[in-house]
C-alpha cells in the first residue's frame, strides 16, 4: 500500500508543472551523441508521448552526426568538418539526407507511434518548413551544401500540433534552387523554438550540462546567464559541439523562448526529470 501511495504522491507532484506547461510548446533536440541505446531511447520516447497526453505540445528536432559519419565511412566518403559543420559535397548530401530522413527520422517516428503518440516525420523540405540559403564560406572554406536558415514556415507545425500530432524534424533545409542543404541540428532546434515562441527548449546531449571545467564532470553549472556563456566561450571553456547548443539557447531566448536547458540524454527519462521536478537537471541558460 505504501508503495502505491508513494506512486500517487509522485504523480501529484507533477501536477503544478503540468498545469504550467499545458497547451504550451516544448522543443526537444535529440542529439546523435545521446542516441546510445534502445533502452534509453525508449524512455525518451515515453517522456515525449506522456507530454503530449498531458496536453503539452512537444516538437522533436533530431541530429544524427555519428550515424552519418558511419555511413559515409562505409561508402568510403571522408567526413571533414570546419568549425563544427560538416563540409557537405553533393555526394555527401545524398547520404546525409538518406540517414537523417530515411533512417533516424523514421526510427523516432515509429518508436513514438508504437507508444501511442501520433508522430509525423518531416524535414525542412516538407511544406518548405526550413528555407535556407547556401552558407557563405567561413575563413575561405567552402562548406558545400550547408544551409543558413532564412525562414521557418511554422504553419505546418501549428496545424499538426492542433490536430494532436507530434512533429519530428530532420535538420535538412530547402535552398532557393530547390536542393537539399545540411544544417546543424542544434541550430534548427533554436530557430524552430524561436519561431514558435516555445515555452521551453531542451537539448538532449551526452554530458550532464555545461561544465565550468570541461574535464570535470562534477563541475556542471545549474544556471548560467547569456553573458556568462559568452565569457566561457571567450575563455575556451565552452567549445566544439556545445557552441551551437548555447547559441541556440541564446538566440531563442532573445526571440521570446522562456526557458532553455542542456540536459544529459544518455540517462533514463531525462525530459520528465527536467520538466517535472523542482530542481530540474542539467544547465538552464537564462537572460
Ligand atoms: N564547457 C563544456 N561543458 C560540457 N561539454 C562541453 C563543453 N565544451 C564542449 N563540450 C562538448 O560538447 C559535447 C556535446 O556536443 P555534441 O558532441 O555536438 O553532442 P550532440 O550530438 O548531442 O549534439 C560534449 O560531449 C563535450 O565534449
Ligand atoms: C552542417 C552539419 O554539420 N550538419 C550535421 C547534421 C546532423 C547533426 O547536427 O547531428 P548532431 O546533432 O547529432 O550533431 C551533420 O552533418 O552532422
Could you state, in order of their start, the residue ranges of all structural domains in the chain? 25-286
| Closest by CA position to 89, among listed 182, 19, 169 | 182
Q: Cα(280)–Cα(3) distance, rounded to whole angstroms? A: 24
Confidence (pLDDT) at 177: 95
Q: Which residues of 125-135 are buried (b: 16+ CB within 10 A; e: fewer)?
A: bbeebbbbebb
C-alpha cell at 205: 546531449
Q: Along the chain (287 residues), what's the average pLDDT of each consecutive run of 10 residues?
A: 86 90 97 95 98 96 98 96 95 98 98 97 98 97 98 96 95 98 98 97 97 96 96 96 95 95 97 88 94
CATH number of 25-286: 3.40.1160.10
Give pTM, 2 decimals: 0.96
The pLDDT of residue 11 is 84
Ligand 2 pocket, 173 CB below 6 A?
no
Of 277, 275, 263, the residue nearest 40 (C-alpha): 263
Is the shortest distance between the CB of 182 and ligand 2 below 6 Å?
Answer: yes
Annotated binding site for substrate: 64-65, 86, 182
Element (H, E) at 241: none
Is the ipTM value over 0.85, yes or no? Answer: yes
pLDDT at residue 7, rounded to an integer: 85
C-alpha to C-alpha distances, 128 to 41, 187, 279, nearest whole angstrom = 29, 17, 39
Indicate the top mutation candidate among 93, 94, 182, 188 to test ligand 2's pocket, ranked by most ligand atoms within 8 A of CB.
Answer: 182
Beta carbon of 248 within 6 Å of any ligand 1 atom: no
Q: Which pLDDT score is estimated for 243?
A: 94
Predicted local confidence at residue 287, as pLDDT: 87
205 lines ligand 2 (CB under 6 A): no
Amino acid at each position: 500500500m505504501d508503495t502505491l501511495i508513494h506512486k500517487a504522491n509522485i504523480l501529484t507532484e507533477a501536477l503544478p508543472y503540468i498545469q504550467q506547461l499545458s497547451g504550451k510548446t516544448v522543443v526537444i533536440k535529440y542529439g546523435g551523441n545521446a542516441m546510445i541505446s534502445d533502452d534509453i531511447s525508449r524512455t525518451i520516447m515515453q517522456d515525449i508521448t506522456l507530454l503530449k497526453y498531458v496536453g503539452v505540445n512537444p516538437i522533436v528536432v533530431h541530429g544524427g552526426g555519428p550515424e552519418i559519419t558511419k555511413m559515409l565511412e562505409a561508402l568510403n566518403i571522408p567526413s571533414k568538418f570546419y568549425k563544427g559543420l560538416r563540409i557537405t559535397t553533393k555526394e555527401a548530401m545524398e547520404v546525409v539526407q538518406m540517414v537523417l530522413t530515411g533512417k533516424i527520422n523514421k526510427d523516432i517516428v515509429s518508436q513514438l507511434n508504437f507508444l501511442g503518440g501520433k508522430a509525423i516525420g518531416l524535414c525542412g523540405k516538407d511544406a518548405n518548413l526550413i528555407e535556407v540559403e547556401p552558407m557563405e564560406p567561413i575563413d575561405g572554406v567552402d562548406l558545400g551544401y550547408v544551409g543558413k536558415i532564412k525562414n521557418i514556415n511554422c504553419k505546418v507545425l501549428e496545424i499538426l500540433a492542433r490536430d494532436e500530432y507530434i512533429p519530428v524534424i530532420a535538420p535538412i533545409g530547402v535552398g532557393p534552387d530547390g536542393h537539399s542543404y545540411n544544417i546543424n541540428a542544434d541550430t534548427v532546434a533554436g530557430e524552430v523554438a524561436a519561431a514558435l515562441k516555445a515555452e521551453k527548449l531542451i537539448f538532449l546531449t551526452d554530458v550532464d550540462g555545461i561544465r565550468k571545467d570541461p574535464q570535470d564532470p562534477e563541475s556542471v553549472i545549474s544556471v548560467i546567464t547569456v553573458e556568462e556563456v559568452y565569457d566561457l566561450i571567450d575563455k575556451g571553456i565552452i567549445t566544439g559541439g556545445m557552441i551551437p547548443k548555447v547559441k541556440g539557447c541564446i538566440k531563442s531566448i532573445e526571440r521570446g523562448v522562456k526557458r532553455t536547458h542542456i540536459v544529459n540524454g544518455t540517462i533514463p527519462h531525462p525530459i520528465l526529470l527536467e520538466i517535472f521536478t523542482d530542481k530540474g537537471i542539467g544547465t538552464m541558460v537564462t537572460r
